[in-house]
Amino acid sequence: MTTTQPKRQPIPFGKYLLLDRINIGGMAEVWRGKMFGAGGFERLVAIKRILPNIAEDDEFISMFIDEAKISVQLNHANVAQIYELGQISNSYFIAMEYIPGKDMRAIFDRCRKKGEPAPVPLVAFVVAKMCEGLDYAHRKKDNLGRDLNIVHRDISPQNVLISFEGEVKVIDFGIAKAAGKATKTQAGILKGKFGYMSPEQIRGMPLDRRSDIFAIGVCLYEMLTGERLFVGDSDFSVLEKVRKAEVPPPSTYNRRIP
């Protein structure tokens, strides 16, 4: 006799219902939720909320609010749309577009399991769409026509979603450095994922859009070859490899690459 798992009850959260948790990181968790409106209107959303242990950290709270303020100004087919920044009791949250699909890391892992890299035209399409979304963010101006100087700073396969409909969305401008940002990244703290950082980012130098372009290049390389590019036994050896930025031709791993 098989026992069925009891179905999780949705959790009321302001005007939303939290259905199930999709993801949890060191600082925030993401839920699939539902919002309701007049006349039986319903919409699936993703709700990103700060974990209770971080909710007391003022610097992180301002970073979280920065993310929402930056992202809400971005309205592009290849950037995940933010609907609302809210606070319920003591908990800040962002409600955003829910994208049913997989992230690029899951696709990379699936290809590795199968023992062959993703098809070249597919990778080229996904990366071209990433570039469109990021180019839009990089050029974004405020209402007075001043450059916002947005740099994502954390482009990595986990932050690119590919929907089952074939849409490509860049997510998580959480540590983006924009003009008019409340939190200043503390010196010596590397934010972002080491294997996707640009040499200037690991050196703690000032960053511009080129740093994101470097990270897109790393994603492109890895998706085409099915191999990690900057990988090592420790964070230090990874940082050392990024600093040298030595890149063997991708065709060494995948003969199909022209």
Residues assigned a catalytic role: 154
Distances (CA, A) of 138 to 67, 79, 120, 125: 15, 12, 26, 20
Residue at 157: amino acid letter: P
The CB density around residue 253, as the number of other CB atoms within 10 Å, is 15
Give 102-168 as a DSSP string.
EEHHHHHHHHHHHTSPPPHHHHHHHHHHHHHHHHHHHH-B-TTS-B---B----SGGGEEEETTS-E
Give 18-31 as a DSSP string.
EEEEEEE-SSEEEE
Side-chain-facing half-sphere of 136: CA atoms under 13 Å: 18
Strands 82-88 and 168-170: unpaired
